[in-house]
Structure 1
């Protein structure tokens, strides 16, 4: 189980990312349209004004059950440990596992 503080930090980053998503997207569109270098610098400065943690690259996918940051499957939102346990318990319909 991941530490609670790390999970809460990640939730805070997700909220910030959603809040500033439109501002970042519109600024990036403006940069691609403008040809003047001075205008691009001005727009780039506006792009840097939101908090750092609002950038989507600072987000980290975590397991929805344990909060584990590594070994996650995007399709399920679970880490490999929990996914394997669910396979063995037959809790994932349609999922087949290898039997040698």
Structure 2
């Protein structure tokens, strides 16, 4: 499980991205890179990390489900993910 501070930091970044999205897009279209540079760094969408919604794990996260591979496998085997079943051939 990821540290709570890491998860909180990522949530803060998500809020900043949402807050500055319109302004950032406007500045990019205008080509005003000097004003763009003055915006907070964490307001850039590339700074947000996709994390598992249950554990906060930052690697191997399936975007479609919002789960890391461990939780995905656990829920898939328990039958808690609709439309997902173990492959057999």
Quick check: 2:79–2:85 contact (8 Å CA) kept in 1? no
Q: Which residue number corresponds to residue 19 of structure 1?
A: 19
- Mapped to 1, the partners of 2:13 and 2:81 lie a distance apart of 30
- Mapped to 1, the partners of 2:88 and 2:77 lie a distance apart of 11
Per the normalisation by structure 1, the TM-score is: 0.85
- Mapped to 2, the partners of 1:99 and 1:84 lie a distance apart of 15
- Structure 1, 90-99 or 16-25: larger mean CA deviation: 90-99
The structure having more radius of gyration, on CA atoms, is 1
Aligned with 1:83 (options 56, 63, 72): 72
Query: Over aligned residue pairs, what C-alpha RMSD do you find?
Result: 1.0
Gaps of 5+ in 2: none
**Relative contact order, higher structure (CA 8 A, sep 6+):** 1
Question: In the TM superposition, what is the alpha-carbon distance from 1:98 to its structure 2 partner?
Answer: 1.9
| Runs of 4+ off more than 3 Å | none
Per the normalisation by structure 2, the TM-score is: 0.95
Q: Which residue number corresponds to residue 87 of structure 2?
A: 98
Q: Which residue number corresponds to residue 28 of structure 1?
A: 28
The SS at the match of 2:51 is coil
